Amino acid sequence: MKPSTRTILTLSILLLAAFLRFYRIDAQSFWNDEGNSARIAERSVDLIVAGAAGDIHPPGYYLLLAAWRVVAGHSEFALRGLSAFAGIILVALVYRLGKQYFDEPAALCAAFFAAIHPALIYYSQEARMYEMVAMWGAGAYWAVDVWLKKIPNTQYSILNMLAVSPVVAAGLYTHYSFAFIIIAINLLVLIRIVQHFYATRSTPHVLRFTFRWFVTQLAALLLFSPWLLTAIRQLTTWPSAQEYLPLGEAIPGVAQWLTLGSTIGAEWSNWVLVFVAGFIVPVAWRRRQLLPVLIWLIVPTVLTIGFGLFSQAFAKFLIITVPAVCLVMGHGMFAISALTLREWIWPTKLSRHRLGHVAVAQLAFVSTFCALLAMIYSLHNLYCNPAYTRADYRGIVRYLDSIAKPGDAILLNAPNQWEVVTYYHTDTSNVFPVARTRPLDVPAQIAELESIAATHDRLFVVYWGDAQSDPGRVIESWLNEHTFKAYDQWYGDVRLAAYAGPRAATTLQTRTDVTFINGIVLDGYSLNATAFSRGDILQLTLFWHAGLPTTIRYKVFVHIIGDPSLPPVAQHDGEPGGGLVLTTTWQPGQTVADNHGVFIPLDLPSGEYSLAVGLYGVDDVTRVTHPGGDSLFLSTITVK
C-alpha cells in the first residue's frame, strides 16, 4: 500500500471517529454519575481527592477533567469532550496495535471497527472514566508490545522498560477494572518468557529479563502507592450488587455487548454468535500474532463474568476488552489479504487450495457485512431511539423551572442525584436530598419529611435507584399517605412525582354512599377547596370500603371536566394509595383513605369545571359502573 494511500485512509478513519463521537454529543442530558463528574471537577485538587476517597472510583479521571474544564468550559459538550478525545486516541492506538500484531490492511480495518463501535462511541459521549480506561488499556498493550520485542536482545533500554509503568499506573488511577488488563499483560509476559527460555535455553538472559519486568511492575506499584490503601478499603467495603449468570446466558450476552454495545435488544444475541463464528474461522486461518489479542479478549471477559460483574450496572467494565474485539474483527475481515475483492466474490482460477482461501474470505466478508448492518442499527438507537436515552435530568429541571412557584420543594430520594440536579438547577435552597443513610433511619426520615411537608406547598420528588436507597419505600409510602399525589412521569429511568404538601384529611366531609357493581363502595370524600389558581394541586381524599374480597386490581380516575363531550382538561389516574394499597389487599369492611392530587394546568382558562371520579380495571381498562353510570360527579370547582 502506498504511503499516501495509507495516510489518507488513516486520517479518514480518524475523522470518522471524531465525527461519530462529537455528533449529538450534548443532545442528551447528564445522568446522575455524569453530574457527579461535573460537580467534582469544579473543586480544588485536595477536595477532588477527598471526594474520590469517599466514593468508589480513583481520582485520576476527575483530576484530568478538572484541568480540561479550565480550558474547555463546563457545558455538557465541553465536559464530554474529554472522553471523546480519549476515544479518538483509542482508535489511533488500535490502528498501531493492528500494524504491530498483523499488517496494514488488518490495522486499517480494526481501526475502522473501533471508530464505529457503538460501545466505544457511547462511552466517548459520557463524562465518565470508562472510555479513558479503555484508552489506557490499549496504551499499556502498545507499551508492553514494544517492551516484549526487546527479549531477543541482550541490551535493554531503561527508558523502554520504565515506559510501561506510568501507563499502568495511569490506568489504575482511572478505574479499578484496569487491574484485569494488568493480569492479562502479566500472563502474556509470562508466556513470552517461557517461550523464550525454551527457544534459547539461556537461563541468565531470561532471569535478567524477568527481573527487569518485575522492576517495571514495582515502579507502577510505587506510582500508585499513595492511593493503594484507599483503593483496598474501597474495594473491600463498598457494597455491590453482583450477579452470577449461568454460562449459557452470560456468554451470548457478553458476546452481544462486546460486538454491538448496549444500545440493541437482546433478540440480537443469537445473531451475534453467528457473526463471531464467521470471524473465528478467518482468524484461525491467518494466525499471525494472535496470542496477545486473545489474552486481552479472554482474561478480562472471564474475570468480569467470574466476579459477577456482567449486569446492567457493571457491564460497562467490559469496555477495556472492546479494542481487542475490534482487532479480532479487523484481522478476520482481511483474513486473505492477497485476494482482491473481485476474487473473493467470483474467483477466476480455482484450485483446492484457493477454494479454501476464497471460502474463508467470503465467510469473513459476509460476517463483516452483517456486523456492519447491526452496528449501524445500534448506532441509530444510540443517537435517535428514546428507549436508549440517558435519564433526562435536564428535562426534569426545565419542567420544574417552568412551573416554579414560591413554596416548592424538590426531594431527591437518592443522595447521589444532588450533583446532577444542582448542575442544572443552580438554586439549591429548595433541594432536599433524602434517604441519606444506609440502612435508612426510618424515624429520622419521617421527621424530616414532616418538616419539609409542613413548610412547602408542593413537593416534587425525583425517584431513582429506589431498591438501594429506600428498599422499603418508606418515603413514597409516607408521601402517599400524608400528602396528595398529582402525577408520575418518567424521564428515561428516572421518575418525577408531584405532591401537594398539606397533610391529608383524616375525616370524611361529604358522604356519597355509592356502590359500584364490583362491590366497592365510595363512602364519601374530602376536598381541600372549590376554588383554585393555575399551578395549584387539587387535594382530594376518597374513602372506600369493599363489601367482599376482590381479586381484581382497579385504578381510580379523578377527572376535571370542562366540556363533557371533550376529554378531561386535567386528571390523575392511579391505584389507591399511590399504587401501594392495591384493591386486592383490601379486607372486607376496611375503610381505605385514598389521596389523589390533580395538577391545575398553567394554561387552563378561567371558569367552572366538574370534578368526577370512577374505577377501571388495570388489565382490561373497562370502567366499573354504578347505578348512575360509569363516573361519579363530586363537585363543581372554579379556576381563576
Burial bucket for residue 303 (CB in 10 Å: 0-12, 13-18, 19+) = middle
Q: State residue 432's pLDDT score.
A: 95
Q: State residue 342's pLDDT score.
A: 45
Q: Which of 40-54, 139-153, 451-465, 616-630 has the lowest mean pLDDT?
A: 139-153
Q: With bands split at pLDDT 50, 70 and 90, how would you rate the model's confidence at 447? A: very high
The listed range with the strongest mean pLDDT (75-89, 162-176, 302-316) is 75-89
Question: What is the pLDDT averaged over residues 163-171?
Answer: 93
Q: State residue 50's pLDDT score.
A: 93
Look at residue 335 and tell me whether its pLDDT is greater than 90: no
What element of type H or E holds 531? Answer: strand 531-532
Note the residue count of the chain.
640
Percent of the chain with pLDDT over 70: 88
Q: State residue 507's pLDDT score.
A: 82
- Residues 49-68: pLDDT tens digits? 999 998 899 999 999 999 99
- Residues 512-524: pLDDT tens digits? 999 999 899 999 9
What is the spatial distance between Cα 361 and Cα 342, in angstroms, rounded to a whole number?
11
What is the spatial distance between Cα 27 and Cα 20, in angstroms, rounded to a whole number?
13
Q: State residue 345's pLDDT score.
A: 47
Q: State residue 165's pLDDT score.
A: 92
Look at residue 481 and tell me whether its pLDDT is greater than 90: no
Which residues, 6+ apart, have CB-to-CB distance to 183 below 8 Å? 299, 300, 303
Q: With bands split at pLDDT 50, 70 and 90, how would you rate the model's confidence at 568? A: very high
Question: What is the pLDDT averaged over residues 566-573?
Answer: 94
Task: Cell 535493554: give the residue.
Answer: 156
Which of 28, 219, 51 has its CA nearest to residue 127? 28
Look at residue 284 and tell me whether its pLDDT is greater than 90: no
- Residues 349-406: pLDDT tens digits? 544 555 555 665 666 666 777 778 888 999 999 999 988 988 999 999 999 999 998 9
Q: Which domains does the chain have, with CATH numbers?
A: 143-238 (no CATH), 393-500 (3.30.110), 510-639 (2.60.40.3880)
CB contact at 8 A, 514 and 501 = no
First to last CA, the chain: 77
CB contact at 8 A, 418 and 474 = no
Q: State residue 252's pLDDT score.
A: 82
Residue 435 vs residue 268, higher pLDDT: 435
How far is C-alpha 581 from the geometric centre of its chain's CA atoms? 32
Backbone angles phi, psi at 144, to 5 degrees: -70, -35
- Residues 109-150: pLDDT tens digits? 899 999 999 999 999 999 999 999 999 999 999 999 888 876
Computed on alpha carbons and rounded to an integer, the radius of gyration of the chain in Å comes to: 31
Which stretches of 425-517 are DSSP H helices?
Answer: 442-455, 466-469, 474-482
Task: Cell 499471525: give the residue.
Answer: 288
- Residues 183-219: pLDDT tens digits? 999 999 999 888 877 777 777 777 877 888 888 899 9
Burial bucket for residue 481 (CB in 10 Å: 0-12, 13-18, 19+) = middle
